[in-house]
Structure formats: structure tokens, C-alpha cells
Amino acid sequence: MKKTTAKLADGREILYYDTDESAVRDTVDRRRLEPTAVRSAIRRDPATGDSVTIAAHRQGRTHLPPADECPLCPSTDARLSEIPAPDYEVAVFENRFPSLHPDADAPRTERPLRTAGPGTGRCEVVCFTADHDASFADLSEARARLVLDAWTDRTAALSALPGVEQVYCFENRGAEIGVTLAHPHGQIYAFPFTTPRTTRIAARAWAHRTATGRNLFDDLLTAERTDGERVVLAGEHWTAFVPFAARWPYEVHLYPHRRVPDLTALDEAERAEFPRLYLDLLRRFDRLFGTGRTPYISAWHQAPREQRDELALHLELFTIRRTADKLKYLAGVESGMDAFVNDVSPEHAAQRLREAAL
């Protein structure tokens, strides 16, 4: 892999990742851009302890542009985009409308019930391909591996930044999910706090360790592989299964067999096998309903800085679609009480996904 680092017109960083070591990425960004003022703040919910990011400056971000004005396509003489190069394999750049920023400008307060501070961190956009009409599922295994290598490189770099506690790589696909740019891409957030879901998971992991002397994720993966009823597919180094208490109609968790804290700790054998299994899963999702591309969220769960021993790297892939013409909306009990009701049994979902193999 070759990595080339450059700057956009407003000083933001852009990185190109290429399989071709001879690739030259020296195109200058010819736009006239002023640096964006980022005034995001992180406030602590006094009732739950959760950190909430307030980023009101993002209201003006790009929203559903036509294909010929896509900011993630390569630049041309007639239209300059966020990617100055006339072509690329994988490109990563600092988000122009970030929720978090190293220089976020917001006051810090430590009053009772009023804890807040600047929304420091970093938000990046990961473009998987220059082809506007493609999706991740259309990528070759070699290109999917390049994306994995880019995720890994960015995880290492962002984890090393002062104040960053957790790095989160993810992809939203489909208008139903709320995607505002149709070009195949994902994002990376470098949080200055441990996310609420990870905090809850860590508490369960430590409780399991205290009660049994064993690791929760080791036991979870062993139980699913032994039972087998919810396993969708398995390789030599990874297993994908529908969790016993799945929250979403079709939800799959992909675990490496060897517990590691984050992407940087995967070995070469694990990296080599991942693209085939992940592409297989994405293509099964697309075959589920006979409607073409299934909307989904794909989320890498990585251990935060201070909890690398007990937590386990894994990927969670799920769709909000429950039938060909019905979506799973987060309504009163889910949005109001965080109490999920799933309309599809995990065992049935696993069977459907096994049947969706080519």
C-alpha cells in the first residue's frame, strides 16, 4: 500500500491510499475555501452520564446533491470537488463539516449539573472508490483490503492524538438510513470520550470477568460457534453470526477468532481473510429482499484507550429494513426508553442470511 498526504485549499488534510506503489497524487486543490469555524461542544447528561455533542454549525452541510455535483467524486476541469485528483482508489480527508475538531471553540464549565467542554477530536470521510454508482459490495477483494488497510492506518494515527479516547470507523448506506451523500463512503470519528454504548458493554465485560474469571467476548464467540444456530458464515479466522438478542431485524456481528482490541492488532492472516467474508455478508444483505441495495449501518467496535484488555474488536452490520416494503422505525419504546422490540427472530434472520448465499 502507498499512502500520499496532501492539503486541501482550506488546510484540511487529505490522504490517498493506492495499491499501485507508482501512483502519483500531486494535484493541487484549486478551490477558494476559508477555514470552517467549529464551535461544537460536549455536554454531560447529568441524568445518564452520557456525553452529548452539540454541533449546531453543521446545519449548513451538503445535503443530497445531484450526481453531477457530488463532492466525493474526483475533480474535473469543469467541477472541483473535495478530491482534487482526477481519479483515486481510496481517499480519506478531514470532514468539512465536522462534529468534532482539534480546535473546537466552546467554553468549558464544571458547575453542578452543567458539565461541558469543547468538542475536540477529529472527523474524517473515507471514500471507498471513485465510482459514484458503486457500493462497497461491488468492490473487489483487493480494494476491500485497501479500505481495511486505510481504516487500520487511520485508527493508529487518530488513536495517537492527544485527548482521543476511542476511534470509530463506520459506514451508513442508503437514504433510509439518513445518508446525505450517495457516493460510496464511510466516516471515522475520533472521540475525546468513551461512547455510551461502549461504556455499557465494558461494564458488562467487567461484571462477567468478576463472576466467572473469563472474558465475556471469548465466551460469547465460543457459545455462538458451538451452538451454530445463528452462525451465518465462518472462515478460518472470522465468524459472522446473528446475536442471541439482536435488536435489528437483520443484524450480524463479525468477530475475529483471536481476541484483539482494535484493527491495528490484526495479523496478516486475519487481514487477508476479512475482505472475502465481509463482501459475502454485504452481498447477502443485498439479496435478502429482492429490492437491490439494502440500507445498512456497518460499525467497527474498537476498544477505547483505557480498556484494551477486556474489550474485543468486532464489526456490527445491520439494516433497518424488516421486509421488502417495511422499515424498522425507532419509535416510542426504542427512542424513548432504549428498549428494543425486534420483529424478526434472530434464528429466522440467520437462516435467511444463510439462504442468501450464491
* Catalytic residue positions, numbered: 185
What string of DSSP letters covers 161-228? Answer: STT--EEEEEEEESGGGT-S--SSEEEEEEESS--HHHHHHHHHHHHHHHHHSS-HHHHHHHHHHHH-
Helix (H) or strand (E) run with residue 321 in it: strand 321-323
Rg (CA), the chain: 21
d(CA 122, CA 15): 15
Q: How many other β-carbons are positioned within 10 Å of the β-carbon of residue 214?
A: 11
Helix (H) or strand (E) run with residue 151 in it: helix 141-159
CB within 8 Å of 2: residues ≥ 6 apart: 17, 18, 19, 20, 21, 23
Q: How many other β-carbons are positioned within 10 Å of the β-carbon of residue 140?
A: 12
Residue from 135, 163, 167 nearest 153 by CA: 167
